[in-house]
Structure 1
Amino acid sequence: MKNQYLKKSKNWIYIAIIIFILVLDISSKYCITEYIKIYETKKIFSMLNFFHVHNYGAAFSLLSNEKGWQIWFLSIISIFTILVVARIIVKSKKKDTKKITGYSFIIAGAIGNLIDRINYGFVIDFIDVHINNWHFATFNIADCSIFIGIIMLIRINY
C-alpha cells in the first residue's frame, strides 16, 4: 500500500514543477511591466540586461510584423503543443522521470507564453543577454523553460 502511494505521489512533483515555473514566469513578467517601461533597459550584470519588449510573434520575433492573425495561430499551436505533450506524459512509463521532467518544463513554458498571448495579444520578453554590442534575442522565463526541457530530452535520447 505504501509503495503504491509513493508511485502516485510522484506525479505531484511534475505538477509542482509546472506550477513553480508558471509562478516564476508570471511574477517576473508582472515585475517587469510594473517597474520597467516598455523599451527601457536596466543593467543587471556586464552581459545581462532587463529590456522590456513585447513580442507579437514567435521565437526570434518570427511573424511579429503580421496583422494580428499570428496571435490566434500561435495560440492554437501552443494549445496543440500542450495537449500533445500532456498526452505523451500520460502515456510515458512512470520510470521515465527525466523525460517527464523535460516535458513538464516544455508544458510550463508553453502555458506561460499562452497566458500572455491570450491576456495581452503579445508575449512579454525581458532577458537580454549580450556581449558588448552583440545582443541575443530577448526572451523570458517561459522561453528558458521550453529550452531547458528540450535540452533535457535531447540529452536523454543521445
Structure 2
Amino acid sequence: MKKKHYFKKFYWIYITIIVFIVTIDFYSKKWILNNLNIYEKQKIFLILNLFHVHNFGAAFSLLSDQNGWQKYFLLIFSIVVILVLIKMIIKFKKKDKNKILSYSLILAGAIGNLIDRINYGFVIDFIDLHIKNWHFATFNIADFSIFIGMIIIMKNNYYNS
C-alpha cells in the first residue's frame, strides 16, 4: 500500500509538467488561430516572429506534400508513441529523474500535437526564429518541449558514455 502512495507522490510533479505544457501549447495555438490569419506574420523581436502556418506532415513538414494518407498515419503513429512513452516513464526508477523529465517533455509535446491532429487534421505552427533572411523551421510549444526533452536525453547519453 505504501509503495502505491509513493508512486503517486513521486510522479505528481511530472504529471503537472505535462499538463502545464499541454495547456500552454493548446492556448497558444488557440490564440494564433483567433488572432492571426493563415500565413500572417507578426514581428515580436529582432529574431522572432509569429507566423501562422498549418503543418499537415511531421517534423519539418515531412510527408506534408502527400495526398492525405499521412493524416491517419501520423494520428496512429502519435498515439502509439504516446502509449510507448507512458509505459517507459512508468518503468523508470525514482533515481532516473532526468530520464523521466526528458520523456515527460517529449510526451507533453506529442500530446499537444496529437490534440491538433484530432481537432484540425494538421498541427498549428507559429514560432519563427530567424537571422536576417535565414529562417529556422516554424514550430510550436509542443515541438519545443520535444526538442528540450531530446536535448536532455542526448546530454545524459553523452555524459554517461
What TM-score, normalized by structure 2, do the two folds share? 0.93
Amino acid at match of 2:135: H
Alignment match, 1:23 = 23
Alignment match, 2:157 = 157
Deviations 1:3-42 (A, max 9, x none): 9856531211110010000000000000011111110000
Amino acid at match of 2:59: A
**Structure 1 pair 125–66 and aligned structure 2 pair: CA distance change class (3 A):** same
Q: How does 1:6-155 map to 2 (within 5 A)?
A: 8-155=8-155
- Where 1:127 maps in the other structure, the secondary structure is strand
Distance in 2 between the 1:26 and 1:71 partners? 19
Q: What stretches of structure 2 of length at least 5 have no aligned partner?
A: none
What TM-score, normalized by structure 1, do the two folds share? 0.95
* Runs of 4+ in structure 1 over 3 Å off: 1-8
Figure out how many residues of one structure are paired with residues of the other and give that number.
158
Residue 98 of structure 1: how far off its partner (Å): 1.1
Q: Percent identity?
A: 63
- Where 1:95 maps in the other structure, the secondary structure is coil
Amino acid at match of 2:31: C
Distance in 2 between the 1:46 and 1:73 partners? 38
- Where 2:137 maps in the other structure, the secondary structure is coil
